[in-house]
Structure 1
């Protein structure tokens, strides 16, 4: 029955005891840091009075609660013989208590807290409660009683598990490990993450690698319009990325027919480039099906419009005249097509009568007009 009561008591007092010890350890660290700063500047108030008073009040309150529990528990365990022996050998008013030490704590001597921790642990043992350290802190090599941080395969006081670069406590924040050292998220990315070629900031999430550089995904954009690249990808010119539209608009050769950029297949003719669908007769728009074309004033033309431009079409059949021709009435004719308008006989002797720009042989002229 006694063992059961002892276990219940230990379970009840241990959480409060560990919390108190953790607070005292943290206060020790604050005082040590404050004293270290004081060595460099005597005018600096290292420990604010309000914080110091709150720390003492909190610790006193915790001690009041724990010592009351310990005294009650100790009185229950004492036999009458123990009571008589204690009263005869020790003056209770002369025994230094942890609470007395805390009330007399000086902020100028943080080593008093170390002594207080030792005294408190001895006092707990004297009452039958043992405070077993959870391990040694990897930073200060002192035992850890209370809250503990386990990281990088080691144990730490919470106030000692800090970023090796800026010294900020990591606590429950995300951290990164490199070379066995812990870094806060900002310092790790600032020191080791790749840099964005656009903004020069560290890349913490998705990264785009292109043109021998790294970019934030949202910063890899067209150098002309500033839009992100879609499924079409990008085109490079002089080390700069461009979207398809801007690249062809700015740098692609222009079609001599429609004046638009040539993006894929093209034809080279007359010293310039053409879309295949644009290399046609510039008069009628018909393609050159045989692959041959005529040039007039550096413009590609079909045979018909070439001769029309040159005035070498037969006025009767509207076909090109490639051999002998007859010139009459300001027009040209195939010899076989220069005929009397009335009788349709060929005017091959070179003489004719003209009426309303129509040729007549002499016989038909006399018949119809005289």
Structure 2
């Protein structure tokens, strides 16, 4: 199969879909790999490294979109990229379609077969292709929040860890999954006063055992959430419903009880955000203020630590890319029901239930497509 990897064009996105090592693995398996010149620059990977791995370097993205059977990316295709996609082509990347009707409509119209990293499953309902970026984003959320709390950046002027004789900052993490766990780890490590909210008793028990007295856990209901929000210096939104839009758990009304200069970091912004006042921002302009509360809602947080993120991502995406290249998308999905969960759009049909229901498209089960074939 001819596999192409264009340079990412989203604002301040430095990751790349294939590392030189990943390109080399595909070449070793007999595939033809095309890399856009400069695609690896954000992680310090040169065109010569890709050539050394056996890949072909092409000028600009057009040859990749026009001639490659599979396009491997990191972030969702931007409008100019969506216009180049075509029927019979496989797009393998993060998509986050539920809060993005325009992207979904254009992918449907293109006829492309789109496989989303974020909905590929693993054993016990895990999301292995989302997990490494959730780990990165969870850890970065505390760094970003700590910086936004500084007075010069619009915050309250609170040091999360405090100092002897001064109380530490209060961090509230909404959601105890991968993002929330990693955020709590970082906040605890800094010496902050940390509370984690979740609705799953098993998750709360697991977090309680892990953190012991270093972090508090609390069952999440409306009263508990309002109380914790009002007292927080930093709130991390770490809620995920796989493939669906994130629920709006913190209303604008709740912001009015928060302290001026307190900070919200919405890690769920890729799925629309879990704060009513959230709107996507970029690394160029990461924050804005609503009702004296600083909002950090960067939709591609891991892009800021591109080298770490790219290698972590390739560790989990490459095995599936190899299978798709070897067997074709139908063969790979038929052989692996977990990968089949990643199919979101195929030849004008929406194949992921949560996306179809959220955006009003007819739903076509992936199994129906595979069975028909």
Q: TM-score, normalised by structure 1?
A: 0.19
Q: TM-score, normalised by structure 2?
A: 0.19
Of structures 1 and 2, the one scoring higher in RCO (CA 8 A, sep 6+) is 2
Q: Between Structure 1 and Structure 2, whose CA radius of gyration is higher?
A: 1
Q: Give the structure with the higher percent helix.
A: 2
